[in-house]
Amino acid sequence: MITGLDCYNKWGDPNTLWDEGKYMVVWNVPEYVWQLIPSIPRRIYCNKEMIVPLEAAFLNIINRGLADELRTWDGCFQVRAIRGYEELVKKLITQGDIEKAMLYMSIHSWGIAIDINAAWNGLGKKPQMSKELVKCFTDVGFEWGGDWRRMDGMHFQLAYLEKTIKDAA
């Protein structure tokens, strides 16, 4: 599973970064997507690495006749700690232990996670989402928070980061 530390190593600390543009982009969602899935916004501010898998997931949803099941879009980019670790992150940053602090940052901080149907899929609650809808995402490279021990049914995040040139060497 991708951690905030992996994202930090690739893109830096989102708390202090001034050049979000090196990994974030305003994605103009293709017209067919928001016409066929009305809950999807016309523009999504997300990590560049999200565009291909996210469009593939939306296409799965359309092709599999599940557009009605995506009831609300609840966001992508938000710089914050994993819920419940806000104070710990502050403390670690104050102490200068940035790498450890990054482990407790939400992946939303780098724009590689999304939340959907949040009202019915609260953190720590039993997810109310069909296996078929989940599969639209997991088939194309997303990991589902509903599979975690602390269930987060609204949450999907990239399962892998694209290899950097440095990693490949």
Of 38-46, 91-99, 112-120, 123-131, the segment contacting Zn ion by CB under 5 A is 112-120
Residue 61 in tokens = 């949803």
| DSSP, res 4 | H
Contact between residue 11 and residue 23 where contact means Cβ atoms under 8 Å apart:
yes
Can you tell me which of 117, 153, 155, 158 binds Zn ion, judged by CB under 5 A? 155
Residue 143 binds Zn ion (CB under 5 A) = no
Of 6-14, 40-48, 110-118, 122-130, the segment contacting Zn ion by CB under 5 A is 110-118
Residue 115 binds Zn ion (CB under 5 A) = yes
Q: CB 142 → Zn ion: shortest distance, Å? A: 11
Q: CB 74 → Zn ion: shortest distance, Å? A: 8
Of 3-11, 22-30, 86-94, 107-115, the segment contacting Zn ion by CB under 5 A is 107-115
d(CA 35, CA 27): 16
Residue 156 binds Zn ion (CB under 5 A) = no
3-state secondary structure of 132: helix
Query: For Zn ion, which is the closer residue by CB, 115 or 143?
Result: 115
Q: CB 137 → Zn ion: shortest distance, Å? A: 12
Q: What is the 3-state secondary structure (H, E, C) of 76-131?
A: CCCCCECCCCHHHHHHHHHCCCHHHHHHCECHHHHCCEEEECHHHCCECCCCCCCH
d(CA 100, CA 41): 34
Residues found near Zn ion in the complex (CB under 5 A): 113, 115, 155
